[in-house]
Structure 1
Amino acid sequence: MLQEHDLNDSEFDLLEGVKSLFRSIVECIFFDSNIFRREDSKLMAVYSRDKDYLFDVNCEGFFTASVRSTVIDFILERKRFSDDDTDTFAFGIQRLINEKTYTAAYPLHDGTMKTEGSMRNMLAKDWASMKRWAHYQPLDQIRDYFGEKFGIYFAWLGFYTNMLILPSIVGILCFVYGCATMLNNQLSEDICDKTNNITMCPLCDRKCDYWKLSDTCLYARITYLFDNPTTVFFAIFMSFWAALFLEMWKRYSAGIVHRWGLTGFSAQAEHPRPEYQARLTNAKIRKMNVVTHVMEPYVSFWKVRVPATILSFSVVLLLITVAVGAVFAVVLYRMCVVSSLHLFGDTNDALFIPATAGLLNLVCIMILNWWKVRAAEVYDKLAVYMTELELLRTQTEFDDSLTLKIYLFQFVNYYTSIFYIAFLKGQYVGYPKKYNKIFNLRQEECNPGGCLMELCMQLAIIMIGKQALNTALEMINPLIWKWFNTFTTKTGLVQPKEENRSTDEVNEVHSTQWAHDFKLLEWGPRGLFYEYLELVLQYGFVTIFVAAFPLAPFFALLNNVFEMRLDAKKFLKFYRRPVPRRVRDIGVWFHILEILGKIAGMIIAFTSNFIPKMVYALSVSEDKSLEGFLDHSLSYFNTSDFPPDVAPQNPAYDVEICR
């Protein structure tokens, strides 16, 4: 009994030791609970003055700073400033700002970045610092400082970043496997074997000569790195990961929503937009809101919203056509370069054309994006105007509709060229006797090793290049504009000179918190839209096209680690404090993520050679191997059947059969 008791004690001590070790490892990634105390879950309800007796209003901090800012903004947005009843839209602080009556209106930051003991200072040191890149985020304090909308954004960004760790590891292992077995691939070895003496048909009309398949040896070997047996496994893995990610996010966000007292917050409980109420001032039909018990104007779905929605998305389709036209121009460029390179005798275009086309497409994407967002904000204002015509009741519904319009354009802008390579290139080329031409130009053909390598290059250039440019611009632009605002404020270019004040009074004014915040950048009308947009576009690259670029999750993880802290620093240091907004989820972005997740993995069936290889091994090969697959996949063509305008003009040697 004594020995058994001692054994149990030793087992217990060992278990406690393992727990203690694990606890000490995990504690290093948690934020300091003495600085950021975690809020306990508690029952909450929306405050109502009619039921004031149910709330402990005398409790210190009952109305937080973010709640007070929200209440003040609510009043300022709806307060009329004119006695003229015919001026329906004579209300709101934003119109007074547009008319230059006021310069700006914003909540104040909690001190400066260096004010010891302030929440801004604590967040800057223990959250917005790159030294804390591996730490959890103090979400409760972020929510108290910026509001629920920002809290939900950073919660989603942190969750998404953590979920990328596993696919990053699996993607690296798949890439390492491809490197380790690259020299053992039967298909690439057959392509590189010069003794096979396989002569291929010309890649362009008249100017191009016959060429040897062994010339693409390097391309075939590199392709194997991204098109090997693990590619299929990884594509399937990412499909399941995408579904698991969304389900786990719903569970995780439900806990946050409950803890923050947002469970009862819905579209019906949200107040109508002041613009909505102004447009429907003279509405004849009114109905009672079952939640707020307030009579509100009623908008006909079929007579008003359906026609307005059709008009809105018709304009969006027009802009999408412009983006598709830009990608089509890049495709024509690739066709022309094929002919011109062969005209000058250059046959090493297997890597040159995809690389230059990818860079050109990235430039087109950035130009289109700049045109849409920056150039006089034409599209932004047009999108807002079209969404206003839909007469959406709440700000959440308005933001979701506007988000969908702009995202559709961005989706086409970024993904069209990649979809072309993945699903269209090489599918409708025709055959040597009758090629399907566009503007009298031959369509591009995939390399005998497949289009996956080219797709990988296009994806890497656009994804990594876009992330690098956005990260640089996100930090450089606010810094430049902050310096500019500081310069104009100190020189008096944007405010009246203090002629009737003494020097001490002027210095006192400039030392106030509102004067410090005035030098910062103001939030645009879209808020966090472009932050979500960048990450959702990245999510599409990671899920839909991951089979072509297994390292995409790793680069996404690397980007998001920096993105999280740089966004935090940007919001705290360079921007005025935003007006807190109540939301209970990430809005329409969740439905966009669901759609992207459902089409993930589709690329493997169209671009990879995995399925043809499996069919050959199981149905054709006698020994169930891939030996002879290359010869099986190439058809024969008698050169005497070439039309006069297609056959090589000056062939280097006589060829009876090309492949």
Structure 2
Amino acid sequence: MKINKQKYSKDSVFFRDGVRRIDFVLSYIDDKDDQRKQERRRVYESNLQKFGLELETEDKSESEDGKTYFVKIHAPWEVLTTYADVLKIKVPFKVNDIPENSEIPMNWLSTPFRLPENIMHPKPDYFTASFNKSKSDFFLIDDKETFFPPSTRNRIVFYILARCSYFKDECGDKDKKGIKRLLNNGTYTAAFPLHDCRYWTRSKDPNCESERYSLYKYWARFFCFFKEQPLNLVRRYYGEKIGIYFAWLGFYTEMLFFAAVVGTICFAYGFLTYDDNEWSKEICSEDIGGKIVMCPLCDKKCTYWRLNITCNSSWQSHLFDNVATVFFAIFMGIWVTLFLEFWKRRQARLEYEWDLVDFEEEQQQLQLRPEYETKCTNRKLNRITQEMEPYLPITSKCARTCLSGATVLLWISLIIACIIGVIAYRLAVYASFASIMKNNTATNLEVVAPYVTPQLATSVTASCINFVIIMILNLLYERVAVKITDMEIPKTHLEYENKLTVKMFLFQFVNYYSSCFYVAFFKGKFVGYPGNYTYMFGSTSKLRNEECEPGGCLIELTTQLVIVMTGKQVWGNIQEALVPWLMNWWGSRKARSHPESLYSRWEQDYDLQGFGQLGLFYEYLEMVIQFGFITLFVASFPLAPLLALINNIIEVRVDAWKLTTQFRRPVAAKAHSIGAWEEILGGVAILSVVTNAFIVAFTSDMIPRLVYMYAYRTHNELNMKGYINNSLSEFNILKFSTDEKPEEYPSWFTSNITTCRYRDYRYPPGHEKEYYQNMQFWHILAAKLAFIIIMEHVVFMVKFFVAWMIPDVPSEVRARIKRERYLVQEYLHNYEVEKLKIQLSQNTNECTCQPMIYPSLAKHEVLSECL
């Protein structure tokens, strides 16, 4: 009856006999004209059977498209135990007897955020040890069918698939092997483990766990955004590598909540002190800002303008450029340290709970990449394993590394060239915008001009163009980075990912952040002064370097950051969610016209998207780039952590949804940490302290205002009255050269106006040091440098003190690790002693039987033989 039931049960994850579980599926389309592919498949599948795997093929006539064959693979107990021993997979040998401290203060507050106990802890906690086939009775094996979870089973099968040969060349000097090469040359169209059921309903088979349904119901739906993640179930279903990514993403999102709260408070402070903004009042005043005539911001096309047209931008700048900015920059420097240190503790706990404490050593020694084994024909003795293994000669390795590095530098140079092109665009287009908006009293501009200045229009359009260039370069470079990393032939999967990580992050660091670095640290710093302006490509280019508005460049940095950061996050979420859904919808369009009973479990998964070996890599990269935005430039935009928090709340569920519903089940893989990303995050954290100190000192106007308030004000009250007039220098308009003079003058310009103002601290016309920097300039520069030194030292001292105070591994976890190692030694010792006693007892029994077999022997001879 079971066989007949399975014949019609197309949602099954078992062979036709209903007993043997499908651990992996290979698919191919048979091309009778291509004999080479047929021979490869025949040899490969024959070799898989020699490894002990069991295969069952579904004919193309049974598939919904009528042309695809499916090869179902089952790993029997003997194969699983053999390779569990080879891979040193840890399995339980004793129930954990260390009591947990489950008493949490005010535990009732977290009740709405918790999931059911059976979802959060699907399995009891055990002490574990590396599996040893010769000591299989040492471990807690209650049921051989469920002893190894499906994620471990598919990892073992994939290990065999990646190393199984499919062809031996005529010379016999090299075997061709590996499922990856067979997929690349089209011998097979796909290779994947099966999901255990449909995500929207439980499996009808009671022997199936239906963990995918539980993940969808309690984890992948957006309305679960306030619930904790079932990380143990994620780890059991997808493996430790994916589990630790979601653990890190969830922890990062939780820590962002505190940064978002403080950032929102700082923004609220700027909003509440709106009316106390004395310098904006002076800019907007008709008696002060309305009478200050500013020098043209570009040659010929730009004309003289009154300061009060920047009224709105100065008010907007105050929202982000205030005293709270300094506090928030210091806070974020400390927050980054707390985030990294607490993550190390969380990671150490996961390493213990998920049996990953000694994993790195095993991975480096045992899991060579199949591509490395195939391409490296030279062999040498491994000093650790004392076995001959393939290696890449040092000369070849150096040549490949140099070529790879040169390629990365070439692409980084391409980014810099694009950024220079965008800057040239800003300089050229600014003159056009200024020409259009030169007369703000014109009928068509009298409403718009106060709100849209040439600087704002140029900044917004340049930011949008820069974002488009970033996306295009990313798309092109991703393929280049993978190819040059393949060319280097890394030894292990960990080394491969680390090399690719460095390449991709270096590129994207320059690609995403270079425009922000330009606005923060270069724009407005090298402009010269009227009569002696600095030009981008020399004076013949007529592209005069950009100036900052009297309100500073901080608002432009904020605009740049918001456009690039928000655009990347919105585009990323659309791309991650919509593209796989559309591709799956299109791929399964034929199956939708068939009855559901004809659409088998392996066909449903075959129509899904492949997650790929680097699927998780791009998820990390996206989040680390976001991390850079909220730390490197957070002083310019305190709401950046809030935007990141909102994005990440969505990101967790989008990633969970697409992984559970839109992608084939990934091959389970182990990872004891987030890898090279941890060092990258640490480097970004250190750099963020420096960048935020420089932003406050040189991009913000905070230091010049404080110097004016305490040293240069002309009245007795401690306020900012007179600051605007003090911060602007004068220039005699008669000194303008013919090339610098504006072509047209505004209607309000009269012959009585003999000077114009510009943003700098220089001596006025007629002074003996005419147009040289005055003493206030040097006082402000000294104050800026002093602020940078003090802020960096204070933040770094706090960072190092906090890092020293918080141990990377919790004491409780240390105790558990020591307890487990002690128990492993003790139980193995007792096991060996008991085994020896049994063996001696059996030998003694055999000896007592000798007189019956050899009756001629005397009694004392038998006893001596037994001894």
Match of 1:454 in 2: 556
Partner residue of 1:463 out of 555, 565, 578 = 565
**Paired residue type of 1:71:** I
Q: Closer, same or farther in 2 for the Cα pair 1:358/1:636, shift >3 Å?
A: same
Checking the alignment, whether the CA contact within 8 Å between 2:378 and 2:392 is kept in structure 1 is no
TM-superposed CA distance for 1:101, in Å, is 1.8
TM-superposed CA distance for 1:561, in Å, is 0.7
Q: Closer, same or farther in 2 for the Cα pair 1:48/1:312, shift >3 Å?
A: farther
The 3-state SS of whatever aligns with 2:588 is helix
TM-superposed CA distance for 1:573, in Å, is 0.6
TM-superposed CA distance for 1:53, in Å, is 5.5
- Provide the C-alpha distance between the structure 2 equivalents of 1:44 and 1:281, rounded to a whole number of angstroms: 38
Matches within 5 A, 1:46-85: 46-49=130-133, 52=136, 54-57=138-141, 60=144, 61-84=146-169
TM-score, normalised with respect to structure 2: 0.68
1:179 aligns with 2:264: no
- Provide the C-alpha distance between the structure 1 equivalents of 2:127 and 2:136, rounded to a whole number of angstroms: 16
Match of 2:499 in 1: 401
Partner residue of 1:544 out of 632, 639, 649 = 632
- Provide the C-alpha distance between the structure 2 equivalents of 1:73 and 1:161, rounded to a whole number of angstroms: 33
Matches within 5 A, 1:69-148: 69-84=154-169, 86=172, 88=174, 90-116=176-202, 118-148=210-240
Matches within 5 A, 1:454-603: 454-487=556-589, 510-600=598-688, 601-602=692-693, 603=695
Checking the alignment, whether the CA contact within 8 Å between 1:219 and 1:350 is kept in structure 2 is no
Q: Closer, same or farther in 2 for the Cα pair 1:211/1:255, shift >3 Å?
A: same
TM-superposed CA distance for 1:20, in Å, is 10
TM-superposed CA distance for 1:324, in Å, is 2.0
Structure 1 stretch 265-274 or stretch 127-136: which is displaced more? 265-274
Checking the alignment, whether the CA contact within 8 Å between 1:489 and 1:519 is kept in structure 2 is no
1:200 aligns with 2:294: yes
Q: Closer, same or farther in 2 for the Cα pair 1:370/1:97, shift >3 Å?
A: same
TM-superposed CA distance for 1:425, in Å, is 0.4
- Provide the C-alpha distance between the structure 2 equivalents of 1:169 and 1:480, rounded to a whole number of angstroms: 37
Structure 1 stretch 644-653 or stretch 581-590: which is displaced more? 644-653
- Provide the C-alpha distance between the structure 1 equivalents of 2:730 and 2:474, rounded to a whole number of angstroms: 46
TM-superposed CA distance for 1:617, in Å, is 2.5
Q: Closer, same or farther in 2 for the Cα pair 1:385/1:370, shift >3 Å?
A: closer
Checking the alignment, whether the CA contact within 8 Å between 1:43 and 1:261 is kept in structure 2 is no
Match of 1:627 in 2: 721
**Paired residue type of 1:463:** M
Q: Closer, same or farther in 2 for the Cα pair 1:86/1:451, shift >3 Å?
A: farther
Structure 1 stretch 113-122 or stretch 247-256: which is displaced more? 113-122
Match of 2:340 in 1: 246
Q: Closer, same or farther in 2 for the Cα pair 1:623/1:89, shift >3 Å?
A: farther
Gap runs ≥5 in structure 1: 1-18, 374-379, 492-502
The 3-state SS of whatever aligns with 1:44 is strand
Checking the alignment, whether the CA contact within 8 Å between 1:429 and 1:444 is kept in structure 2 is yes
TM-superposed CA distance for 1:89, in Å, is 6.1
Match of 1:24 in 2: 108
Match of 1:315 in 2: 407
Match of 1:435 in 2: 533
- Provide the C-alpha distance between the structure 2 equivalents of 1:475 and 1:577, rounded to a whole number of angstroms: 17
Structure 1 stretch 144-153 or stretch 195-204: which is displaced more? 195-204
- Provide the C-alpha distance between the structure 1 equivalents of 2:217 and 2:435, rounded to a whole number of angstroms: 61
Structure 1 stretch 240-249 or stretch 270-279: which is displaced more? 270-279
Q: Closer, same or farther in 2 for the Cα pair 1:89/1:383, shift >3 Å?
A: farther
Q: Closer, same or farther in 2 for the Cα pair 1:388/1:361, shift >3 Å?
A: closer
| Amino-acid identity (%) | 41
TM-superposed CA distance for 1:370, in Å, is 3.0
Checking the alignment, whether the CA contact within 8 Å between 1:200 and 1:212 is kept in structure 2 is yes
Match of 2:485 in 1: 387
Gap runs ≥5 in structure 2: 1-102, 204-209, 441-452, 758-867
Structure 1 stretch 528-537 or stretch 577-586: which is displaced more? 528-537
**Paired residue type of 2:154:** S
TM-superposed CA distance for 1:78, in Å, is 0.7
Match of 1:286 in 2: 381
Match of 1:223 in 2: 317
Q: Closer, same or farther in 2 for the Cα pair 1:244/1:230, shift >3 Å?
A: same
TM-score, normalised with respect to structure 1: 0.89
TM-superposed CA distance for 1:604, in Å, is 2.1
Partner residue of 2:241 out of 149, 152, 156 = 149
1:426 aligns with 2:524: yes
- Provide the C-alpha distance between the structure 2 equivalents of 1:215 and 1:384, rounded to a whole number of angstroms: 51
TM-superposed CA distance for 1:361, in Å, is 1.8
Equivalenced residue count is 616
TM-superposed CA distance for 1:431, in Å, is 1.2
Q: Deviations over 1:397-420 (max 9, x none)?
A: 111101211222222221111111
Q: Deviations over 1:154-186 (max 9, x none)?
A: 000100000011111111111111111112112
**Paired residue type of 2:649:** V
The 3-state SS of whatever aligns with 2:176 is coil
Checking the alignment, whether the CA contact within 8 Å between 2:168 and 2:174 is kept in structure 1 is no
Q: Closer, same or farther in 2 for the Cα pair 1:89/1:223, shift >3 Å?
A: farther
Checking the alignment, whether the CA contact within 8 Å between 2:381 and 2:387 is kept in structure 1 is no
Query: How big is the alpha-carbon RMSD for the aligned residues of Structure 1 and Structure 2?
Result: 2.3
- Provide the C-alpha distance between the structure 2 equivalents of 1:617 and 1:415, rounded to a whole number of angstroms: 34
The 3-state SS of whatever aligns with 1:97 is helix
TM-superposed CA distance for 1:207, in Å, is 2.1
TM-superposed CA distance for 1:143, in Å, is 0.4
Checking the alignment, whether the CA contact within 8 Å between 2:411 and 2:507 is kept in structure 1 is yes
Matches within 5 A, 1:295-314: 295-299=388-392, 303-314=395-406
Q: Deviations over 1:589-637 (max 9, x none)?
A: 1111111111222432331111222222233336543333222221221
Checking the alignment, whether the CA contact within 8 Å between 1:287 and 1:298 is kept in structure 2 is no
TM-superposed CA distance for 1:46, in Å, is 3.1
Structure of larger gyration radius: 2
**Paired residue type of 1:194:** E
Structure 1 stretch 460-469 or stretch 32-41: which is displaced more? 32-41
Q: Closer, same or farther in 2 for the Cα pair 1:404/1:89, shift >3 Å?
A: farther
Q: Deviations over 1:106-143 (max 9, x none)?
A: 00001111332610111100111112111111111100
Checking the alignment, whether the CA contact within 8 Å between 2:201 and 2:213 is kept in structure 1 is yes
Checking the alignment, whether the CA contact within 8 Å between 1:205 and 1:442 is kept in structure 2 is yes
Q: Closer, same or farther in 2 for the Cα pair 1:187/1:62, shift >3 Å?
A: same
Q: Closer, same or farther in 2 for the Cα pair 1:205/1:516, shift >3 Å?
A: same
TM-superposed CA distance for 1:372, in Å, is 3.4
- Provide the C-alpha distance between the structure 1 equivalents of 2:155 and 2:371, rounded to a whole number of angstroms: 18
Partner residue of 2:369 out of 270, 273, 278 = 273
Match of 2:472 in 1: 367
- Provide the C-alpha distance between the structure 2 equivalents of 1:56 and 1:97, rounded to a whole number of angstroms: 38
- Provide the C-alpha distance between the structure 2 equivalents of 1:20 and 1:297, rounded to a whole number of angstroms: 53
**Paired residue type of 1:239:** G
Q: Deviations over 1:237-293 (max 9, x none)?
A: 11111111011100111000110000001143442111112222333x32232xx55
The 3-state SS of whatever aligns with 2:148 is coil
Checking the alignment, whether the CA contact within 8 Å between 2:520 and 2:699 is kept in structure 1 is yes
Partner residue of 1:166 out of 224, 248, 258 = 258
The 3-state SS of whatever aligns with 2:382 is strand
The 3-state SS of whatever aligns with 1:82 is strand
Structure 1 stretch 247-256 or stretch 51-60: which is displaced more? 51-60
